């Protein structure tokens, strides 16, 4: 009788536990399958690096979208960066000099002709536009770090211009900046900015900040329209 009960108990135990074991096995299999696909998913989510002229350009810091980058970076074939900008900014392009990656040799002076073609996909009107260079993010590039918008003035100032703004003013202190003004870009409109980046001591990575100057026109009715403020 004891042997029969033991045999019956074993069969009952297997019958009861079988579905549970199968369920655990399925859960483990699904978990392992998900883990196997995680690296591919993470890689796909990384922002793209656009390559042109021996450089790499990325919108990885967010807030805007680089559509394409083309050109060699010369006066006859400048780097052309097509972008959509939405919001207040600043919009930061990360630039890598692929030719310097892992190199210990002295690099030649960098001189890069750039055209930024920008579409205003925000709701406001741009009445100015600033571009700024930084060797270290969120730290203004001073006069002595070598990175600038043609700090040596080797190129005529007419190379700094726009199709929608009359003036392209270079500012060396307290930061390296070009300020485009005397014009406007409506929401949905596009604009081109032409400038030159130079670096006397080239680095393998630096940053180009872009910041629209917005027209603020939403004020109480009691405030005369002539007093509408412009940030900048």
Q: Which of 77, 68, 73 shows the shortest CA–CA distance to 49? A: 68
Asked if residue 30 is part of any domain, the answer here is yes
> What confidence tens digit (pLDDT) does each residue in 101-113 have?
655 555 678 899 9
Same domain, 16 and 118: no
Same domain, 72 and 141: yes
27: confidence class by pLDDT, cuts 50, 70, 90: low
Asked if residue 55 is part of any domain, the answer here is yes
Range of the domain at 112: 49-214
Average pLDDT over the chain, rounded to an integer: 78
Question: What pTM did the predictor assign?
Answer: 0.71
23: confidence class by pLDDT, cuts 50, 70, 90: low
Same domain, 118 and 23: no
Q: Which of 48, 90, 56 shows the shortest CA–CA distance to 73? A: 56
Contact predicate 69/95, CB 8 Å: no
212 pLDDT more than 90: yes
Same domain, 39 and 63: no
131: confidence class by pLDDT, cuts 50, 70, 90: very high
> What confidence tens digit (pLDDT) does each residue in 173-186 have?
778 899 999 999 99
Asked if residue 186 is part of any domain, the answer here is yes
The one-character DSSP state at 106 is P
> What confidence tens digit (pLDDT) does each residue in 138-175 have?
888 776 778 999 876 667 777 899 999 999 998 877 78
202 pLDDT more than 50: yes
Rounded-to-integer distance, Cα 166 and Cα 181, Å: 6
Rounded-to-integer distance, Cα 102 and Cα 224, Å: 59
Same domain, 65 and 175: yes
pLDDT number for residue 200: 86
Same domain, 12 and 93: no
Asked if residue 192 is part of any domain, the answer here is yes
Count of domains forming the chain: 2
pLDDT number for residue 141: 79
Q: Which two tokens stand for residue 96?
A: 């890598």
12: confidence class by pLDDT, cuts 50, 70, 90: low
Same domain, 179 and 204: yes
213 pLDDT more than 90: yes
């Amino acid at each position: 009788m004891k042997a029969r009960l033991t045999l019956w108990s074993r069969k009952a135990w297997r019958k009861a536990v079988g579905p549970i074991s199968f369920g655990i096995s399925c859960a483990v299999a699904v978990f392992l399958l998900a883990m196997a696909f995680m690296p591919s998913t993470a890689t796909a989510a990384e922002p793209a690096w656009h390559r042109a002229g021996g450089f790499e350009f990325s919108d990885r810091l967010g807030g805007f979208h680089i559509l394409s980058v083309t050109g060699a970076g010369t006066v006859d074939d400048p780097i052309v960066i097509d972008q959509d900008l939405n919001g207040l900014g600043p919009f930061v392009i990360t630039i890598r000099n692929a030719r310097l990656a892992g190199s210990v040799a002295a690099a030649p002076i960098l001189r890069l002709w750039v055209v930024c073609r920008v579409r205003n996909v925000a709701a406001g009107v741009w009445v100015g536009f600033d571009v700024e260079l930084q060797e270290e993010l969120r730290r203004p590039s001073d006069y002595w770090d070598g990175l600038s918008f043609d700090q040596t003035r080797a190129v005529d100032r007419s190379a700094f211009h726009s199709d929608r703004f009359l003036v392209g003013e270079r500012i060396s202190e307290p930061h390296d900046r070009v300020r485009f003004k005397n014009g406007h870009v409506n929401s949905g409109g596009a604009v081109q900015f032409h400038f030159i980046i130079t670096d006397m001591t080239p680095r393998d990575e630096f940053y180009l900040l872009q910041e629209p100057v917005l027209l603020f026109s939403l004020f109480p009715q009691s405030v005369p329209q002539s007093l509408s403020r412009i940030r900048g």
